[in-house]
Structure formats: C-alpha cells, structure tokens
C-alpha cells in the first residue's frame, strides 16, 4: 500500500520525508486555507519536495471550467494530479484531462456506482471517503470492498485511494480490503508506529542495558 500525506503543511511533509513513507500528497481547498499561503505557491513547493503525485483540486463546478483549471494546475509541475469532484461535470472533465495524459483524482466518492463511472472516465485515482460514511453509520470499508471487486472484474487501472481516514484501524482495514493507497493526516501516519507493548518492551530493554554499564559507541 502507498501512503499519501493529507496536508498542505510544508513542515509536516519535510518532517516525514526521511521515513521513506511519503509516496504522494493530497491537498484540498480547506487544507490550503489552513496554510494561509498562496495556493499555487504551496502546490509548487510540495511538488518540489515529493516525487509522487500531488493532488490539487479545482474549484469550478462546470466541466469546461474544470478542464481549464485542471490544465492550469497540471502546468505547475509534472507530478500534479488534478482533483475533481464526483459529479457528471467532474466525470466529463476527468475524461477530457485523462485523454490528454493529465493525472486525475476523482474525489468525494460515496458509492460503488460513482467509482465505476470514474474508472470508465480514465481516472488515475478514485477517492472513497471512509470516515464520512462512518459518520452516518454506513460501513466505509464495505465501499472499499465493492470498488475493489468491480475494478478487478474489469481490470480497471484506476487506483483506490482510501480517503477521510481518521484512525490506524481505518488504514489497516483499507489495506485488508485492497485499497491501493491510503491518504492520511500526518498524525495518523505517525501513530501507525505506536503500540503500548512496543513502548513497554523498549523500556525494559533499555533498563537492562543501563545495568550493564556498556555503550555501543
């Protein structure tokens, strides 16, 4: 599974790069707003830092304007992935941009039928929103399972990008159900390494080592 970091915070991205876990970055208008910086400037800086796809979202609602915005965003850097809403206009824009070799991430997916349309339109990624489904008592992981089955039935190349992830269990379950990518906030990604038994075991080892009075260097 690939990990994309869901943030527009440059410092957070730089802090995670040495781990080798950052395969890409996803942003949205809300995350850019939190950064308090110019949109294109932030996207360009992230693209310079990260080799993988960097999702940048259009704000238009009509297909022709989405296409224009998408082309403009794609011009920022080669690794920009244009983020489009899962509407019929978004699907139309996805088809047009994908046809020109521009990477696309179709977002705000809440149903398997929507994911089918995105794949037919040539989307690079489909982003089912797990957490938001859980918020209304619908099992987000069932959506991952359904999309995986449909895509495998027809050998679609669109990658399943599990989004709206709020916990380590969301990441684990997405991997179990076959998502290709998980886009996670920095705090959730760091938390994947945490376990109380790991902490307990490490403390015991270090306590015993201290008793030997030795040093490795």
Catalytic residues: 83
Pairing of strands 181-184, 54-57: unpaired
CA distance 177 to 25: 22
How far the first Cα of the chain sits from its last, in Å, is 37
Counting Cα atoms < 13 Å in the Cβ hemisphere of 52 gives 17
CA distance 71 to 102: 8
Residues 6 or more apart from 208 whose CB is under 8 A from it?
none
> To which residue do tokens 């089955």 refer?
149
- Paired tokens of 210: 């201290």
């Amino acid at each position: 599974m690939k990990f994309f970091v869901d943030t527009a915070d440059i410092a957070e991205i730089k802090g995670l790069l040495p781990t080798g876990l950052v395969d890409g970055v996803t942003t949205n208008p809300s995350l850019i707003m939190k950064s308090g910086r110019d949109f294109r400037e932030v996207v360009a800086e992230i693209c310079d830092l990260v080799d993988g796809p960097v999702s940048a979202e259009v704000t238009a609602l009509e297909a022709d304007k989405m296409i224009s915005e998408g082309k403009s965003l794609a011009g920022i850097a080669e690794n920009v992935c244009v983020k489009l809403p899962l509407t019929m206009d978004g699907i139309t824009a996805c088809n047009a941009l994908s046809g020109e070799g521009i990477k696309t991430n179709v977002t705000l997916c809440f149903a398997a039928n929507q994911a089918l349309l995105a794949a037919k339109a040539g989307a690079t990624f489909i982003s089912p929103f797990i957490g938001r489904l859980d918020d209304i008592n619908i099992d987000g992981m069932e959506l991952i399972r359904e999309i995986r089955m449909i895509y495998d039935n027809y050998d679609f190349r669109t990658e399943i990008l599990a989004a709206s992830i709020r916990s380590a269990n969301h990441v684990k379950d997405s991997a179990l159900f076959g998502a290709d990518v998980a886009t996670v906030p920095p705090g959730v990604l760091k938390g994947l390494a945490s376990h109380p038994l790991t902490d307990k075991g490490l403390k015991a080892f270090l306590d015993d080592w201290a008793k030997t009075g030795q040093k490795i260097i």
